[in-house]
Amino acid sequence: MKALLIGVRSTLLADAALMALCAGGVHLGRAPDNDEDMPYLVMSAPGGWGPQYYTTRAMQLERVALRFHAWSVNAEAAVDIMEAVERILRTTPPILADATALDAWKTADSLEIDPDPTDTGHDVWAAVMDYEFMVERNPLI
């Protein structure tokens, strides 16, 4: 799963259009909570969703879920970031150090407002998207 997080993050960082939308960067796990750093994107592996394995003699297929949060003080900016992430994931497979990403598909998305405004009084919006990846580890030894 770590290789997938790193590979997907590298793929996203290489996209100039996405980086123009994410002034605060692309983060693994958690990012700053203040509005000066927004908009930004956070990637994580959702808790409670373990990978599923499918094994044959020559290879192992692993199905892994990742969650993406685009945080912004503007709902439209959060949605624009998530649409850019989806475009990248649909067209550019991530390069992984120890495996091959075979496929990726969106399983859920939403737009939510945080009930707590920032310290400066701005609303905070989060566009959330879950993606699943089919990863092949070959050969299985």
So what's the pLDDT on residue 58?
67
Q: What CATH number is associated with residue 48? A: 3.30.2000.30
Q: What is the distance between the alpha carbons of residues 121 and 35, in angstroms, rounded to a whole number?
A: 9
Cα 33–Cα 39–Cα 43 angle in degrees, nearest 5: 75
pLDDT in tens, 62-94: 888 999 999 999 999 999 999 999 999 999 999
Q: Which residues of the chain have pLDDT under 70?
A: 33-34, 47-58, 138-141
Domain count of the fold of the chain: 1
Domain that holds residue 129: 2-137
The closest of 65, 66, 88, 70 to 80, measured between CA atoms, is: 70
Global pTM? 0.88
